[in-house]
Structure 1
Amino acid sequence: MTWITGPLAAFDLETTGTDIETDRVVTAAVVRLELDGAVSTERTWLLDPGVAIPEEAAAIHGISTEQAREQGVPAALAIEEITHAVAEVLQAGTPLVVMNARYDLSLLDRECRRYGLEPLSERLGAVPSPVVDPLVIDKHIDKYRKGTRALHALCAYYGVSLDDAHNARADAVAAARVVRRMGEKRQSIGTMPLADLHDLQVRAAAEQSASLQAYLRRTTNPTAVVESAWPVIPRS
């Protein structure tokens, strides 16, 4: 049995922006997919992030400040529940699929610290693992394919349906289905032990960051710095 022939869990956040140090979680989902791709369990959250949701973020995920305030769970309570749910997945040894894990898991870490909650890494006693990141894996196995590597593009490339992009549940489900398809297409990935796959992504993410940093320094910003840590950016 390989990781692609067993259950997968997936985690996704929709947020107020793209800065892990200052932005907040608006919606979240943790889902479990069986071998046939069906969702067997799921949890979703709508939070009141405690700050105004910028119009550009609301335009992407569809949650306004007013809706979040009226219908959302207090952020501290929801962040505790989300972190507990993710910890349970990893403690059970189930692969956790996170598209662009460096962002979602780092933001979750910062949210825990903001509210005085125990961060995921401390609950686990180690960096979260095993994490499976479709973005990192796709860039590793197909380095020179042109075009965006956003989730909608990966879904199109690997033949996976994505009917409600930027809905946390829909994105989590699609990411898990995409990464299973990747593993089926590339047996060297699909048959790799999870610990080895996790370590491969740590190295691949660092290499991808170094490559992007070199490109930016060569073309637009001589002092550009691209974070290399994965799946969680350490707090500075």
Structure 2
Amino acid sequence: MYLFVDTETTGLPPSHPSHLAQWPRLVQLGWILSEETGEVIMQDTAIVRPEGYYIPDRVTRIHGISTQQAYQQGISLNDALQRLTQALRFSHYLIGHNIDYDYHVLLAEFHRKHIDTLFSNYPRFCTMKSPQVMEFVRIMRGTNHRQYPKLSDLYRLLFDERVQHAHDALADAKTCADCFFQLKKIGVI
């Protein structure tokens, strides 16, 4: 089974973070567990209640989640990570758009909470950095150079539609899953 994961966070890490503590904090987590056929088995999303940090206004303008909203609507980080851990038990792969970013954000949060997990053992696939996907995007754009596509650009190339609800963790996980299964269907991956 595939686990599609997306996070919304307090920002970006430094250029070359040398320690997990330098990674930004989790604000929202969204995930979809699906069969290899694309059938959704379960999905979940949660806003995380801040514990000793705030969400900068510049980041709130991107994903729409303020510190106050996160305090009011959020669940504890422990609860969010436990819910993800339940889905991980069924998954064989972690998939995301820029999965390395989401992976390190989540790994840092597991580390901060001293939660033992097999999270780091899961193979990952990235719909942004995959050479096959980058080549597909290059050909579709008619350019001579490869570049990492935005999730919204990849979706538009595959479906000729605009993404709805970008920068919502569950919506982005769904968009990523849609792209992944379409890329499989047309033989790119």
Give me the TM-score of the superposition, normalised by structure 1: 0.64
The residue number in structure 2 matching 1:156 is 156
Relative to total residues, which structure has the larger helix share, 1 or 2?
1
Identical residues among aligned pairs (%): 25
The alpha-carbon distance between structure 1 residues 34 and 22, as it changes in their structure 2 partners (threshold 3 A), is: closer
CA–CA separation in structure 1 for the residues paired with 2:96 and 2:105: 12
CA–CA separation in structure 1 for the residues paired with 2:33 and 2:87: 11
The residue number in structure 1 matching 2:113 is 115
Which consecutive aligned stretches of 4+ in structure 1 deviate over 6 angstroms post-superposition? none
Of structures 1 and 2, the larger Rg is shown by 1
The residue number in structure 1 matching 2:66 is 64
Please list every run of 5 or more consecutive structure 2 residues that lacks an aligned counterpart in the other structure: 14-19, 139-143
CA–CA separation in structure 2 for the residues paired with 1:146 and 1:139: 6
Please list every run of 5 or more consecutive structure 1 residues that lacks an aligned counterpart in the other structure: 1-6, 190-236
CA–CA separation in structure 1 for the residues paired with 2:36 and 2:171: 17
1:113/1:119 contact within 8 Å kept: no
> How many angstroms does 1:9 deviate by?
3.1
The 5 Å alignment of 1:15-94 reads 15-19=9-13, 21-33=22-34, 39-50=40-51, 51-82=53-84, 84-90=85-91, 93=92
CA–CA separation in structure 1 for the residues paired with 2:11 and 2:163: 22
Q: What letter corresponds to residue 139 of structure 1 in structure 2?
A: M
RMSD after superposition: 2.5
Is 1:133 the counterpart of 2:135? The answer is no
The alpha-carbon distance between structure 1 residues 148 and 136, as it changes in their structure 2 partners (threshold 3 A), is: closer
CA–CA separation in structure 2 for the residues paired with 1:38 and 1:170: 16
CA–CA separation in structure 2 for the residues paired with 1:74 and 1:152: 30
1:109/1:120 contact within 8 Å kept: no
Relative contact order, higher structure (CA 8 A, sep 6+): 2
CA–CA separation in structure 2 for the residues paired with 1:117 and 1:148: 32
Give me the TM-score of the superposition, normalised by structure 2: 0.79
> How many angstroms does 1:102 deviate by?
0.7
> How many angstroms does 1:177 deviate by?
0.9
The residue number in structure 2 matching 1:212 is none
Count, aligned residues: 173
The alpha-carbon distance between structure 1 residues 42 and 25, as it changes in their structure 2 partners (threshold 3 A), is: same
The alpha-carbon distance between structure 1 residues 163 and 37, as it changes in their structure 2 partners (threshold 3 A), is: farther
The residue number in structure 1 matching 2:141 is none
